[in-house]
Structure 1
C-alpha cells in the first residue's frame, strides 16, 4: 500500500447526471450499460460541484495479523456453495482475513493440502448499514481463472425479507477470466441472477485490475444509483430501468467483502490458477452527499 493514498481523506468527485442517457447493450441474458468514453484519470466534474462529508470509514490501520474490527465486521462461514455452486469454505481464521500492518485488510483465498479451498466473507450487517451517500472502497483485486472478488451490499431487511426482494447492490465484481473488466449490478424483484441490471467498465489501458489499487464506488440517492471506477462514471440505474418491478433500494443496506473460488459465473480454477490469491482493501468509506446519507 502506498501510504500517501490512505494518509488523507480525498473529497469525492461529482458524478455526471447525464449517465442516465447511456446506450443500453445486449450482454448475454443481462441488461448492460456501456461505459462512456473518457481518458484515463479524467475528472468528470469539479469537487466543488457537490458537497460531500465523510460519515464513516474503516482505514484498516492495525497490527499485522489482527482481525478486522469486530465493531464493524462479522464473518460469515461455511462451504455450502452460497447459491452459486462455489467451492470455497469461508472461515473466520486469520489465514483468510487479517490486517497486514500497512493499512490494508487482506482477504486470502487458499488451496489447502487436501485440495479444498478456503477464503473469507465479511459483512457489516447490524453494525454499519448505510442509507444513501457515496459508498467507496480502494481495492487491489486478486487474479486468476475461477477467482471471484466482490464489494457489494444487501438490504438490511435480509434475511427476514428473502433475496432478491431484499435488494442487492454490487459495487464491484470481477471474474478472473476478465482481468481488465469489472461489473456493477443491482438485483431485485423481477431483475435478478442473469437478469440483473448491470454495467461493465474496462480498464482504459486494458490492464489487469489486479495490478494496482482502484477506487470502486456508488453514489446512491433516493431513486438513483450511479457507479464509478477511479471517479469515472460507467453505469446508472433508476426506477425507470426495472421494467415496472418494485424499486427496493431506498432503505439501509449492509456492506460485504469477499473472495469466492469457482461458481457458475466465473467458472472453476484450472492449471493456470495460482494460490494463494489476495484481495487487499486500503479503506472502506461512506460519505454523505449534499446532506443525504447515514449509517
Structure 2
C-alpha cells in the first residue's frame, strides 16, 4: 500500500489467504536466517511504562495524544469514522478501564465518530515485552486494533519502516483475533504478509491478554500467554527486519474500511465500544 500519513496499513485482505482453524491458530513465519529465533530473552519483572487507566476522565495527556481526521484527508483504508480529539463522547477512562466509543453520528461528512490514541513522543520503545488486556466490541463493521508504528520512519514510509499489530479484530468474524507484522518484504499488498490468528469464542464478552515479545532476533506474539506468532530476524537488512528502531503504541476503533467493512456495516450495532484494561511495557534485559 502506498504510504499515507495517517492510517498506514493494519492487516487487510491477506487474512483471506490463511484458513482458520477452529480452536488453535494459523501462522506464516519468515524463514530463519543467521539470527537465533530460539534464544530465550528475559524482561524486567516490573513495567517500565504502563497505563492502568485508573484515573477517571480523559486519558493521561502525559502518555497519550490523538490522531485526528478521516479518509477525507487522503488517509487510510476507506474507513467510515472521523477520529476526534479528547472528546469524552468517544474516549473516556472510568472504572479502571479505557473506553473508545464509535458512535453513529455525522461529522465532517462521515457517518461515524471514534478515537485513536497514540503514544508517539510520550512512549517510544526499542525492544521489550508489550501487553494489552482488552475486550473487543461486537457488531459487523467494527475494527479495533492495538498496534505499533515507527516513531522516526528510519527506512522511509510504510511498509519500509515496519508495523507491528498486537491485536486486531473485525466484527464480521467475531471469534477470531489476529497478530501480524508488516515490512517491505512481507506485507499484504504483495501477498507476503506475516500473520497469525486464533479463535476465541468469548473475545467480545471477556478480557484477554495480548502480547508481543520484541527482541533483536525475533518478534513473538501471544494470546493469554500461549504463543501464536513468531517472526524471525533473517539478518538480511531492513527490507525484512526494520525493527531496530523505536516504535510507539496506537489504540483505535475503526468503522468499516477495506477489511473491517468487507461484509458491510451494521448501523444497528452502534454505538460500539472497545474496552482496554491496561497496557504495559517491560524492558528487555540485555
Instruction: Quickly name the TM-score band, shorter chain normalised.
Output: 0.7 to 0.9
Q: Deviations over 1:21-74 (max 9, x none)?
A: xxxxx95447999738xxxxxxxxxxxx955322111111112xx111111001
Q: Deviations over 1:230-249 (max 9, x none)?
A: 11111100124999943101
Distance 1:244 1:59 in 2: 34
The equivalent residue for 2:88 is 94
Change in 2 beyond 3 A, CA 1:128/1:31: farther
User: 8 Å contact 1:182–1:201 — kept in the other structure?
Assistant: yes
Distance 2:267 2:105 in 1: 17
> Is residue 105 from structure 1 mapped to residue 98 from structure 2 by the alignment?
yes
What stretches of structure 1 of length at least 5 have no aligned partner? 1-25, 37-48
The equivalent residue for 1:255 is 249
> Is residue 198 from structure 1 mapped to residue 195 from structure 2 by the alignment?
yes
Distance 1:242 1:147 in 2: 37
Distance 1:197 1:32 in 2: 15
Q: Deviations over 1:121-167 (max 9, x none)?
A: 01001110121111001111111111000000001113983111121
Change in 2 beyond 3 A, CA 1:226/1:134: same
How many residue pairs get aligned? The number is 248
Q: How does 1:171-182 map to 2 (within 5 A)?
A: 171-182=166-177
> Is residue 57 from structure 1 mapped to residue 50 from structure 2 by the alignment?
yes
Change in 2 beyond 3 A, CA 1:243/1:160: closer
> Is residue 226 from structure 1 mapped to residue 220 from structure 2 by the alignment?
yes
Q: Secondary structure at the match of 1:264?
A: helix
Q: CA RMSD in A?
A: 2.8
The equivalent residue for 1:183 is 178
What stretches of structure 2 of length at least 5 have no aligned partner? 1-13, 27-40
Distance 2:211 2:230 in 1: 12
Q: Secondary structure at the match of 2:204?
A: helix
